[in-house]
Chain A
Amino acid sequence: MLSRLIGTKLREMRGHLRSEEESTLRAPLFFVLSAIFWAMLYRGSLWIVNQAVGIQPVGDLLVQKLLAITFLVFLALLTFSNIVTVFTTFYLSDDLQFLMSKPIPDDELFTSRFLESLSESSWIVVVFGLPIFIAAGVGVGAPWGYYGMLGTTLIPFVALPTAIATLLALAITNLLEATRTRDILMFFGLIAFTGLFIAIRAYRPERLLNPESFESIGQMLDLLSAPTSAYLPSEWCMQILMPVLFNSGPPDYWDLGLLYSTPLALYFISAWCHRSLYERGYSKAQEGRHGPSLLTNLRNWIFERTESLRGGLDEGVASLREKGDDAISDLQQLVRKDQLVFLRDASQWSQLLVVLAIMLIYLVNYKYFEIASHQKLFGEVGLYYFNLAACGFVVVALAGRFLFPAVSLEGKNFWMILQAPISLEKFLTGKWLGAMTPVVVVGQFLIWTSNMLVQQNWFHCLMGSVITLVISIGIAAMAVGLGAVYPQFHNPNAAKIASSFGAVIYMILGMFVVLFVLAATFHVTMHYGNLASGEDGWNIGLVHHVVALAGLLTPFGVAAVSIRLGAHALRKRM
């Protein structure tokens, strides 16, 4: 029975691939792009590890600390993503209604869902974690045993958050009032986020890059050798792996035992609890699914309060009359529709909070990077470009989260666009124009405040702003266009669309565009930047200017191509 449940899931995935995979290019493209991404992450990590090892006499400890931070970050990421996937797979998934009505033993449903959540949330570690851990091994020159032990450690490390999340979800759905379960998800999201932020800030990683900020070597050694907390699984991993990594003794078998026994025990406890409590939780979650959430109530309240502002039906009609016989712009109506739909969708609001949090964290951290930049490791040029690239990536991520799903979210309403007398290009352009403004605003806000914080000269400020502007414009179109190339009209969950196959492709391509623009404008920016702060310019010629101009224009080309591609892909699926 269990194998059948899992088999069904696999067949379903294959069906998905078959029905959505018209282009045969898809799989190879995916592998090539992820391989490049993987390699880049690996190279970057290796570079950092090599730098760290070079800082004597604390190099080894530094590597250790960086790895501890990495484990901690992944623990937080896994916990968060598991809570979300467990809620979805155990309580909200559409096929549950069917499965629950069938005589399937509780334990097997539990196990199949458990494995599903586990695999769905643990790819993060495979994609983003492995290159870092392997780079650490290579950088330090670890023995082969390290890589074996790495695999042995990561499996239970990934399973533990899933086990915890199933228990947590069971408790929440059983204890809380049905309509509150959705709010709880948001609540946990924020808690996890804050927790992660505090944990990382407590480490003050930028200090590690700057040994001089410590008063004495002794003080630094104290900081570096202090364990995080013996109760955190990430620390167990460290205890197991570090002796092997530095070839300094046997791994801590006690911690290895803990690392395996804890998820195993939690799994059985959770399975046992599910026997008696799952059904109750499931039915409560079903009620909660349809009831209004806290945010929807708030939305309704605001909607009613603003009635006089909006003007009722009569005012609306009257204001149309005033415009006389001017034709109403279709583009404007498309944009307006998107804005209204987005603003009134309360489930998007919590995501906006996350955006605010990201911006805040970005700026707070930036101040610390400035300290680090007075170090050779970073340099002022490095800081400026690090900041530009980081801003670009924030733009890519933001557009990925909010613009990429935009076409998919038309969903069942898409027939209205298709039957209306407008071209698909116009439709996509409308989406692009409507959604571009917030992305541009966030990008400009980040780049200006961060460059002001470290008092860049006026040319660097201006150039940074221009580069971020063109990137924002291009990336926004790319998100909309590629979102149309890989649409998921049947998926109502924007967050899931934003982490789908197509979104990963978009992210990687987007980062390439950012890096390309930065590289193309590099010489010109540095030359005039230096002149502006009264230093010697760089030795540049016409060709550099041409390349820079081409770099600045590229995002517009990317935008035009993306919109075309998107429209073409949509037409092909009709």
Chain B
Amino acid sequence: MSDDSASSSHTGQPRVVLRNLVKRYGDFTAVDHLNLEAPEGQVFGVLGPNGAGKTTTLRMITGLLQPTEGTILVDGIDMIEDPTAAKRQTGFIPDRPYVYDKLTAFEYLRFIGGLYHMSADKIAERIEDMLELFELAEWGDSLIESFSHGMKQRLVFAGALLPEPRLMVIDEPMVGLDPQGHHLVKQLFQDLAHEDGLTVLLSTHTLEVAEDVCDQIVIINHGQIIARGTLQELRIESGADEGSLEEVFLALTEESDEERAEAVAARFGRD
């Protein structure tokens, strides 16, 4: 894996590369020397208990947070050196769908198109496609204020996909979606990755989703990767050969009382 991989997309090199990624909040290390490579055309799942550092990692990859140390390459572009170029390849969906609710859905999507420097007719085309895909067409002219949580979530999806990113980063995609939404989104992830060649990087607590759609999974805890691989590989690693992902997950993230005490002490100081 070399540094000069500007055109990685055509050479089959990983779309996202994290090297020794560290994020500290004061004395507390939320992400601790993380190394990761997510190849193109795959759905990549990040699992881990609450406070493991998933959101922090994903936010660094999308340029919302600045890493304390380490390198992030998106499509070979360094996120710290050229954030604008790196961000142009990326679409992000945060864990809570906050959007400008004084805009209409159409205005919101046009705004995003403008931020990504898209051409006007391309924006028009994508807006129609996206509103169609996420079943929002009849709401296109309503203020987002009047949307339900799930509708906002779908609109954020539409916005993130509008500029045709090569990398989609999604923090907890399933929160607030109804069963149809669940189904739609799972199908969507697989289509995006396997048909359009995107890399979909998602964090989730819904293990069933991870089981159904993820080609590869990493499990992180206390800011470090404790296991990675396909579901089958994780099964073998955890010793829960035939188990569901839930059993695998619990086996891997299990910690003794002392370990927990240690972690709490590291988090909040020992005094």
Contact = CB atoms under 8 A, between A and B. Distances in A.
A interacts with B: yes
A317 B99 contact: no
B119 A328 contact: yes
A332 interface: yes
Contacts of A323: 120-121
Q: Is the interface of A mostly helix, strand, loop or mixed?
A: helix
A322 B121 CA distance: 7
A344 B144 CA distance: 12
Best-surrounded residue of A329, A421, A423, A574 (most CB of chain B within 10 A): A421
A494 B60 CA distance: 29
Contacts of B90: 419
Contacts of B117: 327-328, 330, 421
Interface string A414-426: 0110111111000
Contacts of B84: 421-423
A332 B111 CA distance: 9
A413 B94 CA distance: 10
Interface stretch (B61-69, B222-230, B241-249, B259-267): B61-69
Contacts, number: 124
Contacts of B207: none
B137 A313 contact: yes
A323 to B, nearest CB: 3
Contacts of A341: 100, 102-103
Contacts of A326: 119-120
B120 A328 contact: yes
Nearest to A323: B120
Contacts of A418: 62-64
B127 A419 contact: no
Nearest to B98: A412
A565 to B, nearest CB: 17
A345 interface: yes
A325 B107 CA distance: 18
Interface residues of A, number: 40
A307 B117 CA distance: 27
Interface string A352-390: 000000000000000000000000000000000000000
Contacts of B85: 421
Given A327-B117, A412-B96, A316 B106 contact: yes
A412 B100 CA distance: 9
A307 B143 CA distance: 12
B158 to A, nearest CB: 13
A324 B114 contact: no
Interface in B117-159: 117-124, 127-128, 131, 137, 140-141, 143, 159
Nearest to A572: B66
Contacts of A316: 106-107, 110, 140-141
Contacts of B141: 307, 312-313, 316
Contact of B94 (A332, A334, A415, A571): A415
B65 A574 contact: yes
A322 to B, nearest CB: 8
Contact of B121 (A307, A324, A332, A344): A324
B99 to A, nearest CB: 6
Contacts of B88: 421
Contacts of A412: 96, 98
B112 interface: yes
Contacts of B39: none
B128 A419 contact: no
B1 interface: no
Nearest to A325: B119
B14 interface: no
Interface of A: 303, 307, 312-313, 316-318, 320-330, 332-334, 336-337, 340-341, 344-345, 411-413, 415-416, 418-423, 571, 574
27 contacts: A312-B140, A312-B141, A313-B140, A316-B140, A316-B141, A320-B110, A321-B121, A321-B124, A323-B120, A323-B121, A325-B122, A327-B117, A327-B118, A328-B117, A337-B100, A337-B103, A337-B107, A344-B143, A412-B96, A412-B98, A413-B100, A415-B94, A416-B99, A418-B64, A419-B92, A420-B87, A421-B84
